Structure 1
Amino acid sequence: MRVLLIQPPESQSVIGFNKFGCPEPLALEILAASLDGHDVRILDMRIDPNLEGTMRDFSPAVVGVTGYTPNVPQMLGVCEEVKQLDSRVTTLVGGYHATLCPDDFGVPHVDVIVVGEGEETLPELVGALERGGDLDEIAGLAFRRDGQWVFTPPRQLLADLDESPLPARQLTDAYRENYFFQFWSSPTPVETARGCPHNCRFCSVWVFHQRRCRFKSPERVVNELKRVRSNTAYFVDDNFLQSLRRAEKICHLTKEAGLRLRYWMQARSDSIVRRPDVVERWAEIGLSTVLVGFEKFREKELDDLRKRSSVETNEEAARILRANGVDIWGAFIVDPSWERSDFDALIEYVRRLKVSFPQFSVLTPLPGTEFFRDKLGELTTRNYELFDFLHSVLPTKLPARQFYGEMARLYSSTTMSFSDLKERIRSGRIQVSGLRRIKNLLAEVSNPEAYLRGLEGGRTGK
């Protein structure tokens, strides 16, 4: 059966974190690999928007679309266009938002919603469609019957991640030179774990994964690393150091295999502090950057987010990374209730922490989370394009123009110096092409008008 999997286009009207990268669609590559025996293609509409041409040339029987909350309008738009081009096609949607908020896809041009992980559900679904079989027996689905939505029993999370197929990266080869993540060109995403055992108020990861963390074996991870075709691998796990013993074993096996790559990972500050020696060993084999969710610089605000960390731990983690020559990609959350003095304090803190690449997001109640339910009555918009972490969907204490002026000032006031950037280019930690992208990105996120244009575009749906 011919199956077309689609990464939808990004909104052209809203400035969002898509500006920071165009990553390889790993989730679609894994799903494609699960469809053994079927003719599968991936269309990345962020790069190639020619849906009509692809539909004409490939003539798929099934089209699946994925995305996060800000992508919902585009996901729906793709499904609608598919139906206009060929009404016989079965359209599917999946991903975080579709799982947590399936009602948002209850429209005539969406036929099936894949609820939860898809490696097992999708092959069963496509097989049933090919045979003309009943969908009732397939767990993890919502589908329309006689004008009503039918939900099948939940799909259990994949118990052994080593059973997840190796990504079908060959299906995105045509797009490879267009992929980037911040200052890395064509980096390779590698998944070694899923989920998180913590329950931060603002996060949807633990909700989707039922507050569980599942791991691939170190041997499986190194097998994937051996297949990396670029010089940079970035681990997409929410906390690569969740199991420090496993991270240590992966490091040992990677070194033993003689792999020469640069690595990027996400890690919690408390994991870093618990075993500084693990960070040191990874730095020895090529760890260049760690994304740390510092989030806040005041204890009470960390507690309010249920972060279960502390300012002291964050600062010690930053010290450990600096001591090992690892760049800090520090993530901070801006509260809509902030005044100018709060922005001043954050700028001072970021400078003191010597964060190499600061990232600032607006506290956003993501649909499907407890935080969203708590804040539902306060939302200023339900336009999902504006749930992009760079716009506030809650009332701001400052007037909008002033608030976004402060957001822009965060970036313009904490950008790495030109001499530091040159040093990183000389050492190979940043590519020249990456520097150009960062320059263009910073020009946008440091411009208050860019936020306001996006705000207006998002409101009007342009």
Structure 2
Amino acid sequence: MKILLINPTGHKIGMDHFLSAPPLGLMTLAATVPEHEVKILDLRNYNFSQDYVEKQIKKYDIIGVSCSTSMINETLKLCKIAKENDVKTVVGGYHVSLVPETALYPEIDVTVRGEGEVTFPKLVDALEYGKDLKKVKGLYFSSGITNGNQLIRTEDRPIIDINTSPFPRRDLVRFYDYHYFWASIDAIESSRGCPFNCHFCCEAGHWGRGWRPKTPERVIEEFHHMDKNKRWFIFNDSESTLDMKRMQKIAELSIEYGYHKKWKSCQGRVTDVVHNPRILDKMADAGWRMMFIGIESIHQKSIDTIGKGIKIKDIKNAVKMLHDRGITIFGSIIIGNLGETADDVRATIRFAQDLDIDIMQFTPLTPYPSTRLYQQAVENNWIVDRNFENWNLVRPIMRSDMLTADEIFELVKWAYRDFYFRFREKHINSFFIRAIRRFIPNLKFWWFWKMAPKFVINGLKNSKPFIADLTSKEYAARFKAKKQKKVKKMMERADKKRDIKINGLTEKLEKKVKEKSAAVPIVKLN
């Protein structure tokens, strides 16, 4: 059969402008059906015309779409085109695992819940030969309108050992330009899932509870299949550092096989960082140049409520340890945590500034389906926008127990303004000192300088309310007044220093004149 796997466009917002990653999930699914003709259409990272997309869909027997929550409307549009041309529609991804009722849409034939390495080839076989879908584990589908449009859930499929997964079909995406802050990248999944239970996180709802790592040997073997012309190797995991001994072995093997020349980035936990300084040294030697860490809040009560399982002191120590090893920090903070006031949020932003975290993203608290936060939000009637298309981590779609959705949005905008536009002398000095100490000597962070001016501008490109507010006359006036006030204070300080210096010099001159006058003999003239 001819199979077209589609990565929908979605809405590019915030960090999406700086990270363009290959669709590893679709690439892996493609590898599970080698006997079939497969193509990947990556709409998220390439601007194909609508006419081209429709023509492509018509050529295939099955389309498979990867769907996150904010992409559901676009997914349905793609599936509608397929159904109108007698093409079977299969949908997978986080959203269909979290919202089973998605399978009841008439545009969708069947959804795959959870991981699809085993389910997908069996589903394709069933669709090709007209077999009973009820015998394929891990599916949702509708009984049909004539049978009452009931949701049918087949038996759960046991989770797999991801070390047995086939290598992703990288040949199907060779012509796409994937990048990380304008440096070319390839990506790897070195682990799957997360053992923690953060109340906002939907990892467990999709992958199941627990963390499943690939062995260091399997990771290096996958490095062998990755594009050697790419500058970055990105670890596309929710948590890469839970087993730091594994990371040490990966680092050692990276050095042994020459992969230390590739820059690497991963997501880590601050507790793993602070308790393993020697392993962190080895990671830095093996090419680690950036680590994403979820800070979420400075307030321990909020951290405990979230279920994050970290301590504030660990955040401070982790930041220092990473910076000392030349590893740039990409941090994340949630705006609108339960129990937090506007002042609490501002304190968290100041905390991130004082720590000199290099890059920050600020996201409104979002209750994805199946999470504990979602249940709490529904029970308390906190959700104010039920259009899933807007659940994109930019616009708040819920209020909290302390803040309205509008107040949360204002704080998100304020956070970006204050973090990226608040050029205090202290932060400028520390930024350049750190740049000289870490970036300049080995010239490995040229991209950071290239990224800096674009980060603020492009990062909010599709978020018109941000741009409108940041460029408004009112904000410009406030910004100008603030700058004028700062300049006035700086001039006053300069004048004061000058006056002190002049007065000091005057006193010294007067003293010297008196001393010289006293030393000169006085001759009396008759």
TM-score normalised by L of structure 1:
0.89
- Map 1:279-428 to 2 at 5 A: 279-335=280-336, 339-376=341-378, 377-395=381-399, 403-415=408-420, 424=439, 427-428=443-444
Q: 1:162 to 1:49 in 2, by over 3 A?
A: same
Q: Which amino acid aligns with 2:8?
A: P
Residues 17, 390 of structure 1: 8 Å contact kept: no
Higher helix share: 2
Deviations 1:376-433 (A, max 9, x none): 1221011112211222111266676664343223223223858589865882324376
Alignment partner of 1:441 is 2:462: no
Q: Which amino acid aligns with 1:37?
A: E
Moved more, 335-344 or 100-109: 335-344
Cα distance in 1 for partners of 2:144, 2:412 equals 49
Residues 28, 42 of structure 1: 8 Å contact kept: yes
Deviations 1:22-66 (A, max 9, x none): 321111111111111100001112213345435535711000111
Residues 204, 369 of structure 1: 8 Å contact kept: yes
Partner residue in 2 for 1:457: none
Q: Which amino acid aligns with 2:377?
A: K
Partner residue in 2 for 1:127: 125
Cα distance in 1 for partners of 2:453, 2:434 equals 11
Aligned length: 445
Partner residue in 1 for 2:25: 27
Cα distance in 2 for partners of 1:164, 1:339 equals 46
Residues 188, 235 of structure 2: 8 Å contact kept: yes
Cα distance in 2 for partners of 1:402, 1:146 equals 44
Percent of aligned positions that are identical? 30
Q: Secondary structure at the match of 2:134?
A: coil
Q: Secondary structure at the match of 1:174?
A: coil
Alignment partner of 1:272 is 2:273: yes
Partner residue in 1 for 2:55: 56
Cα distance in 2 for partners of 1:443, 1:2 equals 39
Cα distance in 2 for partners of 1:80, 1:452 equals 37
Cα distance in 2 for partners of 1:146, 1:412 equals 51
Residues 333, 363 of structure 2: 8 Å contact kept: yes
- Map 1:78-89 to 2 at 5 A: 78-84=78-84, 86=85, 88-89=86-87
Superposed displacement of residue 191, structure 1: 0.5
- Map 1:99-178 to 2 at 5 A: 99-147=97-145, 148=149, 149-158=151-160, 160-175=161-176, 177=177
Cα distance in 2 for partners of 1:227, 1:91 equals 30
Cα distance in 1 for partners of 2:103, 2:14 equals 22
Cα distance in 1 for partners of 2:467, 2:434 equals 24
Cα distance in 1 for partners of 2:461, 2:53 equals 32
Q: Secondary structure at the match of 2:208?
A: coil
Moved more, 425-434 or 380-389: 425-434
Q: 1:74 to 1:18 in 2, by over 3 A?
A: farther
Deviations 1:226-257 (A, max 9, x none): 23321101111111111111111111111111
Q: Which amino acid aligns with 2:455?
A: I
Residues 4, 39 of structure 2: 8 Å contact kept: yes
TM-score normalised by L of structure 2:
0.79
Structure number with greater CO (CA < 8 Å, separation at least 6) is 1
Cα distance in 2 for partners of 1:80, 1:448 equals 31
Moved more, 263-272 or 22-31: 22-31
Superposed displacement of residue 194, structure 1: 0.3
Residues 6, 63 of structure 1: 8 Å contact kept: yes
Q: Which consecutive unaligned segments of at least 5 residues does structure 1 have?
A: 454-462
Residues 103, 109 of structure 2: 8 Å contact kept: no
Q: 1:17 to 1:356 in 2, by over 3 A?
A: closer
Cα distance in 2 for partners of 1:16, 1:223 equals 33
Q: Secondary structure at the match of 2:175?
A: helix
Residues 9, 49 of structure 1: 8 Å contact kept: no
Cα distance in 1 for partners of 2:309, 2:248 equals 24
Residues 335, 408 of structure 2: 8 Å contact kept: no
Cα distance in 2 for partners of 1:357, 1:408 equals 16
Q: Secondary structure at the match of 1:297?
A: coil
RMSD: 2.6
Residues 82, 88 of structure 2: 8 Å contact kept: no
Cα distance in 2 for partners of 1:7, 1:22 equals 12
Q: 1:451 to 1:234 in 2, by over 3 A?
A: farther
Partner residue in 2 for 1:201: 199
Superposed displacement of residue 316, structure 1: 1.4
Q: Secondary structure at the match of 1:341?
A: helix
- Map 1:239-254 to 2 at 5 A: 239-254=239-254
Partner residue in 2 for 1:458: none
Deviations 1:69-90 (A, max 9, x none): 1111111121112223x0x111
Q: Secondary structure at the match of 1:358?
A: strand
Cα distance in 1 for partners of 2:142, 2:320 equals 54
Q: 1:390 to 1:421 in 2, by over 3 A?
A: farther
Cα distance in 1 for partners of 2:26, 2:183 equals 20
Q: 1:348 to 1:435 in 2, by over 3 A?
A: closer
Cα distance in 2 for partners of 1:118, 1:300 equals 38
Superposed displacement of residue 186, structure 1: 2.9
Deviations 1:328-374 (A, max 9, x none): 11111111675542343122101121101111111111111121011
